[in-house]
Chain A
Amino acid sequence: MSDDGAAVVAAVEAIAERIENERDHLTQLDSAIGDADHGGNMARGWAAAAEAARDLDDPDAETVAKTVGKTLMAEVGGASGPLFGGSLVFAAGELDEGITPETAVAFAETYLEKVEDRGDARVGDQTMVDALTPAVHAFKKSIEVDDLEPIEALAKAVDAAERGVAFTVPIRARKGRASYLGWRSVGHQDPGATSTLFILEEVLDVAADRLGVEVPETDASSPTIPDEDPDEAAEDGSAAASEDD
């Protein structure tokens, strides 16, 4: 099995175990503002996804991601099926050259874009987008601008997602079933943002484990403003001039 493929299988197995352990927690969050099925749906879907991933014969990273996405689409149900699974199937194509810092950033950006489009949700709607957006932004900047080690970039992404989950608590839901509650949704943590954080935490743990390193102590804040803008840097291949004088 390719190293990258094996790494993704290991991550999926870890996610399945974590989601199973958090099943009641997720259901409890969802029963406050939704239909109390997020824990059960996600646990069932990820268990099936882990099984499907294990059954693949020497897969590459893209194949594992596609298989997991398709299984989630079929098994999770509700809006989480197309959001978690459909976005994964779509973003998996970014991993066709394997997992590198560059393909990982492309994968993360494509995944976020797909979730936003499909769910028609933006930051501040009290959805998984509130956890995903800061995670993807922190990861991209850490890789493309700060030149951090990928594992440290991932650790920053996890911290960013944690802050995003906390942000869902004091805001009003604008999408999904919780939005029917209007102002009554204020004060509740979003289940989809929470499970997104659990998934990212497991990806970080498995990555550190496979690299044989400790999970880096870091947080998503940065003391400096870089001179370079990642989008411009990507377009020109050179650093853009700083404008903050």
Chain B
Amino acid sequence: MVGIVVVSHSERAAEGIAEVAAEMAGDTRIEPVGGDGKGGIGTVPDAIEDAIDAAAGEGSDAADADGVVVLVDLGSAVMNADVAVELSEAEAVIADAPVLEGAVNAAVAATDPSATMESVREQAEAARDMEKL
């Protein structure tokens, strides 16, 4: 199963986005992560790395993991997620997508039994073209 990580500068925003995406996600693992670790706005690579490992099911059912798709908000969150992807033992990619819409798309795509990390990423990135009006 493909896991999903939602990264935001705000821990609460990450949790909220994960909550919205989880509505569509069946039993897909969605891990929110955000904040500077001290209650402020920011992101920390180590925390993102932990979230990637958790979404991959590292430890318990790592063999079952098909990779992780990471959704990010802005600026340094992208760079820190990039560092985390590099550090993590798990297979992970960043989706170049709006964070909330991308997370929802990724959650839906991940429920497909034949989903791969690439197919989930593609669906997340399709959210870039989403029209609302």
- Please report A residues at the B interface, Cβ cutoff 8 Å: 70, 73-74, 77-79, 81-83, 85-86, 89-90, 118-119
Q: Specify which of B44, B75, B82 is in contact with A74 (CB 8 Å cutoff).
A: B44
CA distance A77 to B83 in the complex (A): 13
A79 touches B45 (CB 8 A): no
CA distance A85 to B76 in the complex (A): 13
A86 touches B79 (CB 8 A): yes
Give per-residue flags for B83-123: 1 if the beta carbon is below 8 A from chain A beta carbons, else 0.
10011000000000000000000000000000000000000
Number of interface residues of B (CB under 8 A): 14
A79-B75, A83-B79 given; name 5 further pairs at CB < 8 Å: A73-B46, A85-B45, A86-B82, A118-B83, A119-B79
Interface-centre pick from B42, B45, B75 (highest chain A CB count, 10 A):
B45
Q: Is B80 an interface residue, CB under 8 A from the partner?
A: yes
Q: Is B36 an interface residue, CB under 8 A from the partner?
A: yes
User: Which chain A residues lie closer than 8 Å to B37 at the CB level?
Assistant: 74
A82 touches B75 (CB 8 A): no
User: Which chain B residues lie closer than 8 Å to A73 at the CB level?
Assistant: 44-46, 80, 83
Q: Specify which of B42, B83, B87 is in contact with A78 (CB 8 Å cutoff).
A: B42
CA distance A85 to B75 in the complex (A): 16
CA distance A89 to B37 in the complex (A): 20
Give, as a whole number of angstroms, the nearest-CB distance from B41 to chain A: 9
22 A-B contacts, Cβ less than 8 Å apart? A73-B44, A73-B46, A73-B80, A74-B44, A77-B42, A78-B42, A78-B75, A81-B45, A81-B76, A81-B80, A82-B79, A82-B80, A83-B79, A85-B45, A85-B83, A86-B80, A86-B82, A86-B83, A89-B83, A118-B79, A118-B82, A118-B83
User: Which chain A residues lie closer than 8 Å to B86 at the CB level?
Assistant: 86, 90
Give, as a whole number of angstroms, the nearest-CB distance from A57 to chain B: 22
B76 touches A79 (CB 8 A): yes
Give, as a whole number of angstroms, the nearest-CB distance from B86 to chain A: 7
B46 touches A74 (CB 8 A): yes
User: Which chain A residues lie closer than 8 Å to B36 at the CB level?
Assistant: 77
CA distance A73 to B45 in the complex (A): 7
CA distance A186 to B79 in the complex (A): 26
CA distance A119 to B76 in the complex (A): 9
User: Which chain B residues lie closer than 8 Å to A74 at the CB level?
Assistant: 37, 44-46
User: Which chain B residues lie closer than 8 Å to A79 at the CB level?
Assistant: 75-76, 79
Given contacts A90-B86, A118-B79, contact A82 B45 (CB under 8 A): yes
Interface members, chain B 54-100 (any A CB < 8 Å):
75-76, 79-80, 82-83, 86-87
Given contacts A74-B37, A77-B36, contact A82 B83 (CB under 8 A): yes
Q: B44 — nearest CB in chain A belongs to which residue?
A: A74
**Closest 6 interchain pairs by CB?**
A82-B79, A86-B83, A79-B76, A73-B45, A82-B83, A77-B42
User: Which chain B residues lie closer than 8 Å to A86 at the CB level?
Assistant: 45, 79-80, 82-83, 86
Give, as a whole number of angstroms, the nearest-CB distance from A157 to chain B: 25
Q: B86 — nearest CB in chain A belongs to which residue?
A: A90
